[in-house]
Amino acid sequence: MNPAGEHPLALLFTDVEGSTRLVRRMGADYVTILADHSAHLRNSFERHGGEIVDTHGDAFFAAFAHVEPALLAAAEAQLALHGHPWPEGGTVRVRMGIHSGTPLRAEGRYFGLDVNRAARICAAGRGGQVLLSDTAHDELAGRELEGIYLHDMGEQRLKDFDEPQRVYLAEIAGLEQATGLRRESDQSTPAALPKALRVVVADDSVLLREGVARLLVDAGFEVVGQVDNAEDLVRRVGFAKPDVAIVDIRMPPTHTDEGLRAAKRIRERYPQVGVLVLSQYVEAGYAMELLSESSEGVGYLLKDRVSDIDEFASAVRRVGQGGSALDPAVVSQLVGRHRRDDPLSELTPREREVLELMAEGRSNTGIAERMVVTERAVEKHVTSIFQKLGLPQASEDHRRVLAVLTYLR
């Protein structure tokens, strides 16, 4: 196969997750476990034309002429490992990384930065995952491999690399996989680390999508996927199970309401996932369609609001925690409608102002800060609103949702 860098090769690294723990737990039985693991990898790699360059303990380094057979071999190996009847306590989970590059070769071995990059991409994964570099992903551009879907995980910090590296996760049909990547902080005590809300971002504008993702990461969120169309969005949400899906209303192919339709499908299929819709313009009809059943875990913001980082991050958190976040411009337009039999006619101007801020998703504390009054005064207004609207006794959060829906309708 290719001597010194004549054309790119697909470099595939593998590593058993938690191998030290497995050795301690299984003792002498680990020899048999390791042999079964090695047999699955060798069979899959050789069947797809791979050359096993090196092995070290339970780690493999293989080279392929192209990325496609390397990815097919990795997927086949992962499925074989997943379906193997491992002994109790001896399940083997392998992380794999693929990079396309032109390494140096001498005496049957490969060297150079491309080899290091492939190894670091493998190390960034979790057991059961196959990760790809951007160059490996680009080599597959335009090709669809049955049962394998590639998801953009954004730029990641890899050990020994000064610049962030873009990484893609291969979703393999029939295989349950972790969705987040491995980080140095994984070695810390889990209880000491706050859980970051997981977000999927969908927008056909690469600049906006990348910008939103970067803002979210900087604000402490974990971006577990970026997509540019509605179909991939729904599939990605089903796979990654994020806390929030951030969705552009207008997406390919018609750029009308594909994002809204996808948001409603997510609400129906995955009610535990919050949905925050972004729109270029105020489209009150779309907002009401999204809110038709409940305002819990729903947001509707104008894209201009993204520039206010703190407010945007706060809105994403509210939606991810089951609250709501409505753009003031949207609320204002909905409020301005003339209705016969207005259910809000008995509210005082101050109570309507409180309800308007509730509709934006603000807590009593947030309303008090905005109106420059005490939190106790806000609580009194909220109680009065519930009574005047005739809302039944229920939890505070549920009554707030009913009040907001009454207000917007």
Q: In this structure, what CATH number is given to the domain that contains residue 333? A: 3.40.50.2300
Q: What is the pLDDT of residues 301-328, one digit of tens each?
A: 888 888 888 889 988 998 888 877 777 7
Task: Give the pLDDT of residue 184.
Answer: 44
Q: Cα–Cα distance between 62 and 389 in angstroms, integer? A: 68
Q: State the amino acid at position 115 in one-letter form.
A: V
Query: What is the model's pLDDT at position 408?
Result: 54
Query: For 56-64, what is the mean pLDDT?
Result: 91
Contact by Cβ (8 Å): 280, 302: yes
Do 228 and 295 lie in one domain? The reply is: yes
pLDDT in the model for residue 224: 86
**91-149, pLDDT tens digit by residue?**
999 999 999 999 988 777 788 889 989 999 998 888 999 999 999 999 998 788 888 98
- Lowest mean per-residue pLDDT among 69-78, 109-118, 286-295: 286-295
- Determine the Cα–Cα distance for residues 384 and 311; give it in Å rounded to an integer: 28
158, 33: one domain = yes
Are residues 282 and 148 both part of a single domain?
A: no
Dist. CA 287–CA 303, nearest whole Å: 14
14-18, 141-145, 277-281: which has the minimum mean pLDDT? 141-145
Domain end call among 322, 337, 352: 337
Q: What is the pTM of this model?
A: 0.53
How far apart, in Å, are the Cα atoms of 335 and each of 246, 370, 388? 25, 19, 18
**pLDDT value at 21 more than 60:** yes
Under 8 Å between Cβ of 361 and 336:
no
Please check whether residues 66 and 179 belong to one and the same domain: yes
pLDDT reading at 362 higher than 70: yes
One domain, residues 216 and 314: yes
For the ranges 2-6, 230-234, 338-342, 364-368, the one whose mean pLDDT is highest? 230-234
215 and 276 both lie in a single domain = yes
Tell me how many domains the chain contains. Answer: 3
- The amino acid present at 136, given as its one-letter code, is A
The total of other beta-carbon atoms located within 10 Å of residue 257's CB is 18
340 pLDDT above the threshold of 70: no
Average pLDDT, the chain: 82
Query: Could you list the residue range(s) of the whole structural domain that residue 257 is in?
Result: 194-337
CA–CA separation, 181 vs 222, rounded Å?
A: 10
Has residue 6 got a pLDDT over 70? no
Which pLDDT score, from 0 to 100, does residue 3 have?
A: 45
Model pLDDT, residue 4: 46
Q: According to the model, what pLDDT value does residue 314 have?
A: 87
| Residue 396 confidence (pLDDT) | 53
**Lowest mean pLDDT, pick from 63-67, 124-128, 158-162, 200-204:** 158-162
